[in-house]
Amino acid sequence: MKVTMTEAICQEGLALLEGKADIFVAHDAHPHNYLDQLKDTDAFIVRVADKGAIDKETMESSDSLKVIGRTGIGYDSVDVESATKLGIPVVVTPGANNRSVAEHAITLMLALSKNMVESDVEQRKGNWKIRDAKKAFEVEEKTCLIIGLGTIGKIIAHLCIGLDMKVIGYDTFLSKEQMAELGVEKYDDKFEALKAADVVIVQMPLIEGVTNNTIAKAELDVMKPTALLINCSRGEIVNEPDLCEALKSGSIAGAGLDVFWNEPTHIDDEILHCPNVIASPHSAAQTREAVIKMAKMCVNGCLAVVDGKKWPYVADKAVYDHPKWAGKEWAEV
């Protein structure tokens, strides 16, 4: 068995492959640069890759490819439609980084609310008077709007309630009663929810043509000038040029961002030069604990598929309708 990786996974994940596989680490996010290595690869584990990089050509060039593993829940780097047609499951790791991302969103909110980054930078310049900037505020009794109350959003709500915040939610998939069980007040009108919020946390998947630009100029214009925006989901969900304009004009007070239109970001990207932005390099899911969980879950899924078993955590379960999976049993998790 041969396993190819775009980048090496952690030692805990590699340990699961000891004695079971020959491993090639490409240190390259673009598989077209090493198609020769993929020809006899059974499992292709993708840690870092550009959107759509794992395309149909890559799969069709890989004669032995049985499974693609993605150490995360997002899979926009993989052409899942082509993989499904070829009967190649795309293993994902749902739940492995939920707490990590939720804590990161709260951290960005608190850092902004206390003006932590500017205070640190200015103090190091000798500007002790930054303490009088009057930008810091308490989150107690402030209203936090969570757009997207999936698993991560629910954890964020729990943490915000623990900070004595009022939590409201906008999510078309949850009823008023379901939100109430979480201690969250449901809003059916997104714009009314945005008007009421002191902090807006976006936590939803990117669905092309559906969730792109969920937050754009119209949404930013109705937010309070004292409001903060937090995005740890996908960059395209927030219209970045519109956000830049809102930050520069003072239409909103600040933004905490872990995701961007350009990834990796460039030093001259406008968003990195806007006032009162705290940025992290799409690292919300990269805690020690989450990295280990994702790696182990991904490897176990890939091993199960190579062994001819149906692994439940895949991007598209329709892959198991392919003739090559007829009569195969489900793996025990």
Distance separating alpha carbons of residues 229 and 277, to the nearest angstrom = 10
Helices marked H in the chain: 11-15, 35-38, 56-61, 80-86, 98-113, 116-124, 151-162, 176-181, 190-196, 217-222, 240-249, 288-306
Q: Is 92 helix (H, G, I), strand (E, B) or coil?
A: coil
Using CA atoms, how far residue 84 sits from 42, 91, 315, in Å, is 16, 12, 9
Burial class (CB in 10 A: 0-12, 13-18, 19+), 210: exposed
Active-site residue, 32 included: no
Give the number of C-alpha atoms closer than 13 A to the C-alpha of residue 322, restricted to the C-beta side: 18
Q: How far is residue 118 CA from its own chain's centroid?
A: 26
Active-site residue, 282 included: yes
Active-site residue, 30 included: no
Catalytic residue (one of 12, 103, 245, 263):
263
Catalytic residue (one of 234, 240, 266, 270):
234
Catalytic residue (one of 47, 70, 104, 282):
282
Using CA atoms, how far residue 227 sits from 108, 163, 169, 193, 200, in Å, is 13, 17, 16, 12, 7
Distance separating alpha carbons of residues 107 and 230, to the nearest angstrom = 10
Rounded to 5°, the CA angle 224-229-233 comes to 150
Which of the residues are catalytic? 234, 263, 282
